[in-house]
């Protein structure tokens, strides 16, 4: 029996790739996002992959719009079995250069959007006592980096909110499950459309993975939601574990390297369109797809994903990688000190 799946942020990136993967299994997929061109493209993808699409324009920062989208999806496609929260926006800039309005907007979309999606899903799943909610998190929700204070704050908030909700569902002996997939750096269009005050074009911190890697992790989590969280990609496992062991060392390492590693050598174009307040596919009508501008640098698969299905193996592999990260960070700091002396 095919599933009904609702995905926020479905017009591009991880949401778009996840929609295609569910569709390949014959799912009915409700696509929620702001941009019409992206939604239309995602609907075509779902149909071509073998699923049944329904595109519903909505801004996740507005609960009424999200709830109405959930109602429309269930009316057209049937009861929602899986809800995936992906939608976000961000501002690349030092904290001192972000306005209060911008910080509030990122929080409303990237954190409250997940809260709103979860509320809308639970209102329908709880009476049926079944369903799965997958929160698409980030390694940056465990280990913050410079220049992304609003995004990191939102991802940390999602972790705290979800942990609280999970305890409540366990207390109620609910048949509804919620899990988080912490993502690595992913090659999505966000780096070409987020608001940025950096002198050079923003980029994901390498290693970079293709959105299909993230999508496979989301679908697996939806199928196996009893685990509280999944770490997608070796860099995510290494970052999370290293931060638990040597957080102060990572502070110093990221202070030295975090600015340059998030920028390409290309100069940023002042005034380029960004999606903080409005989707960038309007009025131009361009569909950005799932991939960003870093295909040549991105990995199409992750060996760690297979290990992530086995907690003991994943922990051992992550510990090894974390040790490598810590050693590399210490060497980088010593090298920089040596150049200054």
Residues with a known catalytic role? 151
- Among residues 206, 198, 103, the alpha carbon closest in space to that of 153 is found at 103
Helix orientation angle between 100-110 and 112-128, rounded to the nearest 10 degrees: 20
Q: Phi-psi category of 186—alpha, beta or left, where left has phi over 0 and alpha has psi -120 to 50? A: beta
CB 143 within 8 A of CB 97: no
Cα distances (angstroms) measured from residue 260 to each of 186, 221, 265:
18, 33, 9
- Among residues 143, 150, 83, the alpha carbon closest in space to that of 119 is found at 83
Residue 283, Cβ density class (10 Å: 0-12 exposed, 13-18 middle, ≥19 buried): exposed
Q: What is the torsional sign of CA 227, 205, 105, 188? A: negative
């Amino acid at each position: 029996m095919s599933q009904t799946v609702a995905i926020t942020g479905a017009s591009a990136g991880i949401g778009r790739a996840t929609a295609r993967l569910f569709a390949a299994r014959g799912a009915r997929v409700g696509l929620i996002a702001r941009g019409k061109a992206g939604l239309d493209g995602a609907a075509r993808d779902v149909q071509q992959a073998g699923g049944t699409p329904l595109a519903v324009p909505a801004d996740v920062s507005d609960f009424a719009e999200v709830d109405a989208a959930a109602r429309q999806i269930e009316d057209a496609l049937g009861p929602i079995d899986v809800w995936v929260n992906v939608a976000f926006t961000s501002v690349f800039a030092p904290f001192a250069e972000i306005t209060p309005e911008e910080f509030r907007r990122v929080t409303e979309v990237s954190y409250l959007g997940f809260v709103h999606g979860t509320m809308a899903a639970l209102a329908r799943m709880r009476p049926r006592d079944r369903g799965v909610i997958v929160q698409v998190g980030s390694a940056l929700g465990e280990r913050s980096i410079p220049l992304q204070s609003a995004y990191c704050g939102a991802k940390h908030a999602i972790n705290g909110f979800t942990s609280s909700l999970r305890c409540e569902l366990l207390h109620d002996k609910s048949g509804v499950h919620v899990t988080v997939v912490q993502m690595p750096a992913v090659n999505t269009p966000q780096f070409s459309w987020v608001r940025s005050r950096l002198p050079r074009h923003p980029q994901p911190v390498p290693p970079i993975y293709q959105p299909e890697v993230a999508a496979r992790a989301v679908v697996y989590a939806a199928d196996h939601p009893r685990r509280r969280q999944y770490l997608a990609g070796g860099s995510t496992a290494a970052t999370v574990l290293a931060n638990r062991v040597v957080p102060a060392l990572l502070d110093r390492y990221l202070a030295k390297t975090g600015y340059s590693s998030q920028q390409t050598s290309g100069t940023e174009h002042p005034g380029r369109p960004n999606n903080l307040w409005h989707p960038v596919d309007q009025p131009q009508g361009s569909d950005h797809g799932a991939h960003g501008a870093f295909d040549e640098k991105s990995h199409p698969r992750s060996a760690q994903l297979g290990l992530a299905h086995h907690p003991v193996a994943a922990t051992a592999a992550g510990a090894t990688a974390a040790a490598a990260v810590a050693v590399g960070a210490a060497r980088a700091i010593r090298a920089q000190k040596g150049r200054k002396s």
